[in-house]
């Protein structure tokens, strides 16, 4: 059995600064423990929900915008047990690895204590334990942004990070049992380089996952009623759709996907 633990469902600058929805990303546990897109609050929320960050094996980061990347440095400290053990991997977009944010200021520091640092572009892959990670394309204001497809012991988990919709996007996420989508805006509204509810419906209809998880909900979506948008996706796709509730775990085995708080 594998687990996904969500540390919030928020995204965008106004949600980030108000924390009306958490922005801590999510944790994937198979034979390894991987924290994906550790935005502001990732460290604190990990402890609040009994996820010891010293147990991490890797950080996987889609791009170097603050709501996806902010807690990366402190989680490296945690993963390396206060920088006393050479341990773990940092895997992410070129902007994450090549010098934007904390890495620019402390490259030697992080290289000295991380076992592995890998920059991925679309189509590249990496492995952490038995989990294969495939980088998927996006169209975003950070041109190096990538999404991820995780090949795990219990099937494929796809994470569509910040991107505008484009026709080939769904092809990269075919065969996903769980589709985690950054749905920033409601169906009647749009912001450049991000997905809205209408886009999420088109993607889900092409990919046909067992479960859709909405995350990266922006302030406009939050204020207009995110659950209304969730219901629209579910009704139009006939696929169970949930919002990434803080502290919620998905327990996944070959036959079922169940939730636990």
Q: What is the 3-state secondary structure (H, E, C) of the chain?
A: CEEEEECCCECCHHHHHHCCCCCCCEEEECCCEEEECCCCCHHHHHHHCCCCHHHCCEEEECCCCHHHHCCHHHHHHHHCCCCCCCCCEEEECHHHHCCCCHHHHCHHHHHHHCCEEEECCCCCEEEECCEEEEEECCCCCCCCCCEEEEEECCEEEEEECCCCCCHHHHHHHCCEEEEEEEEEECCCCCCCCCEEHHHHHHHHHHHCCCEEEEECECHHHHHHCHHHHHHHHHHHHCCEEEECCCCCEEEECCCCEEEEC
Q: What is the pLDDT of residues 89-148, one digit of tens each?
A: 999 999 999 864 454 445 565 666 889 999 999 999 999 999 999 999 999 999 999 999
Average pLDDT of the residues in 63-89:
94
Give the whole-number percent of the chain exceeding pLDDT 90: 90
Q: What is the pLDDT of residues 145-176, one digit of tens each?
A: 999 999 999 999 999 999 999 999 999 999 99
Q: Is the pTM of this model over 0.85?
A: yes
What pLDDT is stored for residue 108 in this prediction?
61
Average pLDDT of the residues in 243-254:
96
What pLDDT is stored for residue 109 in this prediction?
59
Which of the two residues, 29 and 101, has the higher pLDDT score? Answer: 29
Which residues make beta-bridge pairs with 151? 132, 156
Return the H-helix or E-strand segment holding 179.
Answer: strand 176-185
Q: Please give the domain boundaries of the chain with CATH numbers for all domains.
A: 2-254 (3.60.15.10)
8 Å CB contact between 65 and 23: no
Average pLDDT of the chain, as a whole number: 94
- Does the CA dihedral 221-227-231-237 come out positive or negative? positive
Q: What is the pLDDT of residues 216-239, one digit of tens each?
A: 999 999 999 999 999 999 999 999
């Amino acid at each position: 059995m594998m687990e996904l633990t969500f540390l919030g469902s928020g995204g965008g600058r106004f949600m980030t600064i108000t924390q009306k929805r958490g922005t801590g990303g999510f944790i994937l546990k198979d034979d390894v423990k991987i924290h994906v897109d550790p935005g502001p609050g990732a460290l604190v929320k990990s402890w609040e929900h009994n996820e010891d960050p010293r147990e991490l094996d890797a950080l996987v980061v889609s791009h170097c915008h603050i709501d996806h990347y902010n807690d990366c440095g402190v989680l490296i400290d945690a993963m390396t047990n206060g920088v006393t053990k050479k341990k773990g991997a940092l895997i992410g977009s070129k902007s994450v690895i090549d010098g934007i944010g904390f890495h620019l200021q402390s490259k030697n520091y992080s290289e000295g204590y991380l076992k592995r640092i890998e920059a991925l572009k679309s189509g590249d892959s990496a492995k952490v334990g038995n989990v294969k990670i495939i980088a998927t394309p996006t169209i975003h204001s950070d041109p190096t942004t990538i999404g991820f497809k995780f090949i795990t012991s219990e099937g494929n988990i796809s994470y569509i990070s910040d991107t505008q919709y484009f026709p080939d996007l769904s092809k990269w996420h075919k065969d996903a049992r769980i589709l985690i989508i950054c749905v920033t805006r409601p169906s009647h509204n749009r912001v450049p380089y991000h997905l809205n509810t209408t886009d999420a419906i088109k993607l889900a209809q092409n990919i046909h996952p067992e479960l859709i998880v909405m995350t990266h909900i922006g302030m406009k979506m939050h204020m207009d009623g995110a659950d209304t948008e969730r219901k629209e996706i579910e009704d139009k796709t006939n696929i169970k759709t949930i919002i990434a509730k803080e502290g919620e775990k998905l327990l996944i085995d070959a036959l079922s996907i169940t939730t636990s708080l």
